[in-house]
Amino acid sequence: DAKTTQPTSMDCAEGRAANLPCNHSTISGNEYVYWYRQIHSQGPQYIIHGLKNNETNEMASLIITEDRKSSTLILPHATLRDTAVYYCIVRAVQGAQKLVFGQGTRLTINP
Amino acid sequence: GAVVSQHPSWVICKSGTSVKIECRSLDFQATTMFWYRQFPKQSLMLMATSNEGSKATYEQGVEKDKFLINHASLTLSTLTVTSAHPEDSSFYICSASPLTMYSSPLHFGNGTRLTVT
């Protein structure tokens, strides 16, 4: 079963920052937080991942709380092409390395 | 880098026939690949873990004799849907991560849309 909780849907205005929350209160010490997104009829696209420090790359920023029980994905300047379903997933560093998907957040960017 | 390619992108087949879907890691080697299935308006469901040189591991409820997985090399895994029926119509997606990179993210193919008539 998925170990994360995300809002079902969110809206954001084009050009504004989109902040997507994720709750993972049962995360263990050897689990990373991964974010993926899926645009309609395509395979999931990797966005970013982190263990306990905040991370930033060319696509987004990941803010993880100090207790690691929640995180926020930030798309700094959302565009219409960012409309997608965003998945927050916790994944063990070792072992099977599989990803178990929850229902994700359907983010709609409005013009 | 880290590109995963799936073929075909879509396929239509008649009920009772078999369909093979290929998943290739183009610029890295992968001991393990994963196969997912996604029905309309639903999330991805893991079907099986494909292990190079050994038998695949199937998730509970997935029929191993119906969904044959072969992982013959470090860059290729295949999923064969045998005796396909309309209820097998779905979006099938594979994923893989580089062999030796610790915590390396899984990368996904663009999926194969299977329609069984």
Q: Residues of chain A whose C-beta is under 8 A from some C-beta in B?
A: 32, 34, 36, 38, 41-46, 49, 51, 87, 93, 96-104
Q: Do B111 and A102 touch (CB under 8 A)?
A: no
Percent of the residues in chain B that have a pLDDT greater than 70, as a whole number: 95
Contact at 8 Å (CB) between A107 and A82? yes
Tokens of B22: 């290929």
Decide which of A83 and B101 is more confident. A83
| CA dihedral of residues B44, B41, A40, B11 (deg, nearest 10) | 70
Tokens 């029926």 sit on residue: B85
Mean predicted confidence (pLDDT) in A97-105: 90
Residue B33, CA distances (Å) to A28, A44, B97 in order: 24, 15, 7
Within 8 A of A46 by CB-CB distance, chain B residues are 105-108
pLDDT at residue A1 greater than cutoff 90: no
* Rounded CA Rg of chain B: 14
Chain A residue with CA closest to B2: the answer is: A46
Q: Do A101 and B32 touch (CB under 8 A)?
A: no
Alpha-carbon distance B112 to B93, whole Å?
Answer: 6
Q: Do A43 and B49 touch (CB under 8 A)?
A: no
Average confidence score pLDDT of chain B: 92
With bands split at pLDDT 50, 70 and 90, how would you rate the model's confidence at B2?
confident
Tokens of A5: 């909780």
Q: How far is B38 from chain A (nearest CA, A)?
A: 10
At B31 the pLDDT is 85
Tokens of B88: 């097998």
Out of A42, A49, A101, name the one closest to residue B110 (CB): A42
Q: What is the pLDDT of residues B61-76, one digit of tens each?
A: 999 999 999 998 999 9
As beta bridge partners, residue A38 has A85
Test the A interface: residue of B4, B23, B104, B108 with most A CBs within 10 Å: B108
pLDDT at residue A71 greater than cutoff 80: yes
Mean predicted confidence (pLDDT) in A39-67: 95
pLDDT at residue B37 greater than cutoff 90: yes
